[in-house]
């Protein structure tokens, strides 16, 4: 009888294997269920935000040193927007902030994004993703700031209601 309760190398290996399998199963269960627990415990606002499909619209804007030609505003939908801004010729490379606000001298922009300029052939581009989902439709200004300098050119921008289908040509 005493022999059944004695420690043996085989029994130690079996016990170690069972404990290891139990730990692996617990960790797998935890990671699979964590998203569901988080979603269930989230506030109604957060649940609506997590459940909504991420809509991204691809846009490409040519910026000039004098703002939009003829005062025609750039158009963006009120949603998450992937935008590539082509800087005017002679613009220096660097870290750019892209800001959107009701007035250029306003205290706080309605939306902003950070982007590092990239050379694409002869163009200098700033690819950014702007979250305009909380920006109401209306007239705004868009401006770029290089390395925390003062902005010099403001572009008229019109934010429109969200579009139903995202552009399928997103990405490179």
Q: What is the pLDDT of residues 82-91, one digit of tens each?
A: 888 998 888 8
155 forms beta bridges with 142
pLDDT of residue 3 exceeding 80, the answer is: no
Average pLDDT of the chain, as a whole number: 77
The pLDDT > 90 percentage for the chain reads 10
Q: Which residue, among 68, 39, 57, 63, has the nearest Cα to 131 in the 3D structure?
A: 57
Burial class (CB in 10 A: 0-12, 13-18, 19+), 117: buried
pTM higher than 0.85:
no
Laid out side by side, the sheet with 123-131 consists of: 57-62, 80-86, 123-131, 118-120
**By the 8 A CB rule, do 117 and 124 touch?**
yes
Q: Does domain 57-160 have CATH number 1.20.1250.20?
A: no
Domain segments of the chain as ranges: 2-51, 57-160
pLDDT at 97 over 80: yes
- Answer yes or no: are the C-beta atoms of 61 and 73 closer than 8 Å: no
Q: What is the pLDDT of residues 44-59, one digit of tens each?
A: 555 555 555 455 667 7
* Residue among 59, 63, 88 nearest 76 (CA): 59
């Amino acid at each position: 009888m005493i022999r059944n309760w004695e420690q043996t190398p085989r029994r130690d290996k079996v016990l170690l294997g069972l404990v290891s399998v139990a730990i692996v199963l617990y960790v797998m269960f935890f990671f699979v269920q964590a998203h569901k627990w988080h979603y269930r415990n989230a506030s109604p606002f957060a649940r609506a935000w997590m459940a909504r499909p991420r809509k991204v619209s691809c846009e490409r804007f040519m910026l000039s040193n004098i703002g939009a030609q003829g005062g025609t505003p750039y158009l963006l939908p009120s949603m998450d927007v992937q935008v590539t801004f082509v800087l005017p010729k002679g613009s220096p490379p660097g870290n750019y902030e892209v800001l959107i606000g009701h007035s250029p001298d306003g205290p706080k922009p309605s939306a902003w994004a950070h982007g590092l300029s990239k050379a694409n052939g002869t163009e200098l581009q700033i690819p950014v993703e702007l979250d305009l989902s909380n920006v109401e439709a209306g007239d705004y200004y868009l401006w770029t700031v290089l390395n925390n300098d003062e902005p010099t050119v403001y572009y008229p921008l019109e934010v429109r209601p969200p579009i139903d289908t995202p552009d399928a040509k997103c990405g490179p």
